[in-house]
Amino acid sequence: MKMMPLERRGISNSRLVLGCMGLGGSWNSADPVTSSHIRQAEEAVEAALSIGITMYDHADIYKRGKAESVFGQVLKQQPRLREQIVIQSKVGIHLSDGILPQRYNFSKGHILHSVDGILERLGTQYLDVLLLHRPDPLMEPDEIAEAFTMLKLTGKVRNFGVSNMSPGQIRFLQSALPDPFVVNQLEMSLLRHHWVDPGILHINQKADLKDSFPEGLMEFMQMENIQIQAWGPLSQGRFSGKESDNATEAEMKTAALVQQIADENETTPEAIVLAWLMKHPACIQPVIGTVNPKRIIACKDAARQAEIMTREQWYTLLVSARGVNMP
User: Counting every residue, how long is the chain?
Assistant: 327
User: Helix, strand or coil for residue 177?
Assistant: coil
Of the candidates 306, 163, 225, which has an alpha carbon nearest to the alpha carbon of residue 5?
Answer: 225
Q: Out of 56, 62, 104, 126, which one is annotated catalytic?
A: 62
Strands 127-132 and 157-163: parallel
Please tell me the distance from the alpha carbon of residue 148 to that of residue 179, in angstroms, as a whole number: 9
- 291 near 23, Cβ under 8 Å? yes
Strand partners, 240: none
62 is catalytic: yes
Other Cβ atoms within 10 Å of 322 Cβ, number: 16
Q: Are 173 and 144 in contact (CB under 8 A)?
A: yes
Give the CA distances from residue 9 to residues 83, 183, 283, in Å, rounded to whole numbers and listed in that order: 17, 11, 14
Asked if 3 and 309 count as a contact pair (C-beta separation under 8 A), the reply is: no
Cite the active site residues.
62
